[in-house]
């Protein structure tokens, strides 16, 4: 009997082993794509944009790379989305989470080839994840009660985060800059109060943190105000009528300026052009008028000065005015900026990044943003763990011990989970050009001797104590990597059927405009 096709013409279906193999291949390919960027000695990727401009991006940030590539494989899309979530949630660990999920699926592929059922593998993985999470929680250290040690923890976390980025050679400078910026937030975690300005010229070490707000051409309060009728068509029978129209327009402008002045302000910032006559009226009233404020900084200036954006001026008593102590014009490179200092929101600050090329500036901004996100998370969740592959080996040891005590096929799945965790320090060592087999074997032996703070020292290509080296990471980031990777791998492993919908047919348009 011939097989019956229940799908529309053009729909496609992949079943059982074919579907699973397709998922594994897509996810593992994504992991292989980004794994060379992992660790302090990871390599960068050049991303070329389409279109006429052909934008060039040089980066080793996992989320940036995965956002830029178009993927068609469903499992690959799951990993790309997971990386984006990691970036949004904690800001760092985007490469680690993708690589760990890919390594879990690589191990699952081998287990399925041995005829172990996916549900058995998932059951073993869930127990392994729980054990690894408990081990990570027990290994976490909290110094939030000791301000000096917590400050040192934050600096170490910033250095560790930046050590795998473009800013690694200036990590001391930028880690201090990032910690100072985050500590100014006073625990609010509102990163919108930290404004990053990129200016070409100088070197990365010329970058600095400036208290207060800076604005390019300037941020804004008020929307649209003045419109003139010049350029409009007006039929008149004499030039005297034109003069009357101009006079009426001036009167309308004066009336609007008077309404604005009733607010009791001494600085008026407008998003659009302010014509000469209103500017003259403001000047006579002793009010500074700033025109052509940039659109991007509207909310930010209102936020840091404590004011609000308004577009009507009929009720001055309802308008909340912003305050700052000093407004001045400053030069950065060849550009003129307006600088607001002594703003109402004391935590506001501006980071000015300098660099030789636009690509360097863009990557420096991404690197600094990752560090700021991780530090903001650490201020909220002050627990820290040790990096350099230390946490992964610690979790792998606990999972292996659990596997040795577990009867049945679930033990094999647990062992594969531990092997996937051990692949992270292996890849870090490989990317640095060291003998990964030797280093990971040494690290495993050290952890068996209960040297639970030992990890990889990539500066010297040896195993070292992470406490002495100051290689610290956020507990929140590590926990998120573990949970996200195991959940994504489990979801992909459950798939036994991929159904593609039939493409929509193009219907000829019989009603052209």
Range with the poorest average pLDDT among 101-110, 119-128, 243-252: 243-252
Flag whether pLDDT at 497 surpasses 80: no
Output the pLDDT for position 216: 43
Instruction: Look up tokens 């005590």; give the residue.
Output: 405
pLDDT greater at residue 377 or residue 222: 377
Average pLDDT over residues 348-363: 86
pLDDT greater at residue 129 or residue 281: 129
HSE of 120, CA atoms in CB hemisphere, 13 A: 16
Output the pLDDT for position 186: 75
Most confident of 70-74, 341-345, 408-412: 408-412
Output the pLDDT for position 215: 46
For 66-103, the pLDDT digits (tens) are 888 888 888 888 899 988 888 888 888 889 999 999 99
CATH 3.50.7.10 fits 218-345, yes or no: yes
Average pLDDT over residues 456-468: 89
349-355 and 208-211 beta bridge pairing: antiparallel
> What is d(CA 313, CA 41) in angstroms, rounded to the nearest whole number?
58
Output the pLDDT for position 5: 67
Output the pLDDT for position 398: 94
Mean pLDDT over each residue of the chain, to the nearest integer: 82
Flag whether pLDDT at 222 surpasses 60: no
For 356-377, the pLDDT digits (tens) are 888 888 888 888 888 888 898 8
The pLDDT confidence band at residue 224, using thresholds 50, 70 and 90, is very low
Average pLDDT over residues 1-13: 63
Output the pLDDT for position 188: 72
Nearest to 38 by CA among 124, 97, 85, 120: 97
For 154-182, the pLDDT digits (tens) are 999 999 888 888 888 888 888 998 888 88
Bridge partners (DSSP) listed for residue 474: 384
For 34-46, the pLDDT digits (tens) are 999 998 888 888 8
The pLDDT confidence band at residue 295, using thresholds 50, 70 and 90, is low
Phi, psi (rounded to 5 degrees) for 411: -60, -35
Flag whether pLDDT at 190 surpasses 80: no
CB atoms near residue 253 (< 10 Å): 19
Three-state secondary structure call for residue 495: coil
The pLDDT confidence band at residue 420, using thresholds 50, 70 and 90, is very high
Flag whether pLDDT at 226 surpasses 70: no
Output the pLDDT for position 221: 29
Output the pLDDT for position 249: 80
Output the pLDDT for position 326: 83
CATH superfamily of 12-142+386-500: GroEL-like equatorial domain (1.10.560.10)
Flag whether pLDDT at 197 surpasses 90: no
Residue 126 is given by DSSP the state H
Output the pLDDT for position 103: 94
Q: For residue 341, what are the contacts with CB-CB under 8 A and spacing of at least 6?
A: 211, 212, 324, 325, 326, 328
> What is d(CA 111, CA 185) in angstroms, rounded to the nearest whole number?
49
CB atoms near residue 295 (< 10 Å): 10
Output the pLDDT for position 132: 93
CATH superfamily of 147-212+350-381: TCP-1-like chaperonin intermediate domain (3.30.260.10)
The pLDDT confidence band at residue 403, using thresholds 50, 70 and 90, is very high
Output the pLDDT for position 18: 78
Range with the poorest average pLDDT among 213-217, 279-283, 422-426, 497-501: 213-217
What percentage of the chain reaches a pLDDT higher than 70?
87
Kindly report the pTM of this predicted structure.
0.80
Output the pLDDT for position 349: 78
Q: For residue 130, what are the contacts with CB-CB under 8 A and spacing of at least 6?
A: none
Output the pLDDT for position 232: 57
Instruction: Classify residue 114 as exposed, middle or buried by CB count within 10 Å of its CB (0-12, 13-18, 19+).
Output: exposed
Residue ranges covered by each domain of the chain: 12-142+386-500, 147-212+350-381, 218-345
Flag whether pLDDT at 230 surpasses 60: no
Output the pLDDT for position 396: 93
Buried b or exposed e, range 32-70, using 16+ CB within 10 angstroms: ebbbbbbbbbbebbeeeeeeeeeeebebbbbbbbbeeee
């Amino acid at each position: 009997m011939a097989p019956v096709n229940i799908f529309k013409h053009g729909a496609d279906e992949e079943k059982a082993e074919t579907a699973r193999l397709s998922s594994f291949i897509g996810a593992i390919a994504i992991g292989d794509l980004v794994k060379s960027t992992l660790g302090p000695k990871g390599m960068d990727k050049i991303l070329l944009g389409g279109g006429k401009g052909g934008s060039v991006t040089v980066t080793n940030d996992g989320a940036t790379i995965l956002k830029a590539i178009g993927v068609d494989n469903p499992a690959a899309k799951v990993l790309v989305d997971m990386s984006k979530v990691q970036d949004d949630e904690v800001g760092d660990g985007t490469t680690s989470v993708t690589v760990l999920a890919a390594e879990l699926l690589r191990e699952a592929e081998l287990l399925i080839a041995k005829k172990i059922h996916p549900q058995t593998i998932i059951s073993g993985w869930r127990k392994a994840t729980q054990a690894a999470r408990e081990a990570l929680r027990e290994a976490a250290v909290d110094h939030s009660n000791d301000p000096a040690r917590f400050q040192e923890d934050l600096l170490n976390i910033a250095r560790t985060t930046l050590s795998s980025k473009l800013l690694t050679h200036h990590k001391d400078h930028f880690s201090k800059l990032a910690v100072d910026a985050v500590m100014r937030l006073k625990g609010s975690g509102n990163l919108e109060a930290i404004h990053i300005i990129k200016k070409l010229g100088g070197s990365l070490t010329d970058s600095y943190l400036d208290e207060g707000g800076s604005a390019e051409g300037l941020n804004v309060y008020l929307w649209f105000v003045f419109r003139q009728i010049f350029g409009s068509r007006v039929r008149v029978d004499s030039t005297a009528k034109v003069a009357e129209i101009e006079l009426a327009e001036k009167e309308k402008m004066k009336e609007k300026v008077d309404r604005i002045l009733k607010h009791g302000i001494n600085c008026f910032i407008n998003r659009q052009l302010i014509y000469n006559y209103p500017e003259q009226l403001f000047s006579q009233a002793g009010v500074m008028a700033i025109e052509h404020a940039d659109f991007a900084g509207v909310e930010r200036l209102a936020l840091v000065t404590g004011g609000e954006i308004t577009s009507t001026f009929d009720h001055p008593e309802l308008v909340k005015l912003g305050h700052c102590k000093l407004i001045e014009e400053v030069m950065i490179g060849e550009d003129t900026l307006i600088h607001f200092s002594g703003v109402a929101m004391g935590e506001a600050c501006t980071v000015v990044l300098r660099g030789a090329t636009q690509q360097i500036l863009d990557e420096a901004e991404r690197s600094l943003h990752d560090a700021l996100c991780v530090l903001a998370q650490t201020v909220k969740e002050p627990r820290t763990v040790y990096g350099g592959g230390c946490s992964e080996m610690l979790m792998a040891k606990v999972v292996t011990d659990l596997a040795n005590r577990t009867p049945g096929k679930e033990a094999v799945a647990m062992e594969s989970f531990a092997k996937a965790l051990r692949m992270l320090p292996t890849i870090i060592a490989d990317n640095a050009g060291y003998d990964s087999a030797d280093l990971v074997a040494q690290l495993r032996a050290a952890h068996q001797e209960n040297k639970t703070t030992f990890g990889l020292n990539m500066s010297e290509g040896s195993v070292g104590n992470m406490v002495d080296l100051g290689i610290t990471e956020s507990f929140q980031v590590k926990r998120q990597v573990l949970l996200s990777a195991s959940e994504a791998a489990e979801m992909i492993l459950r798939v036994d059927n991929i159904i593609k919908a039939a493409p929509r047919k193009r219907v000829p348009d019989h009603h052209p405009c």
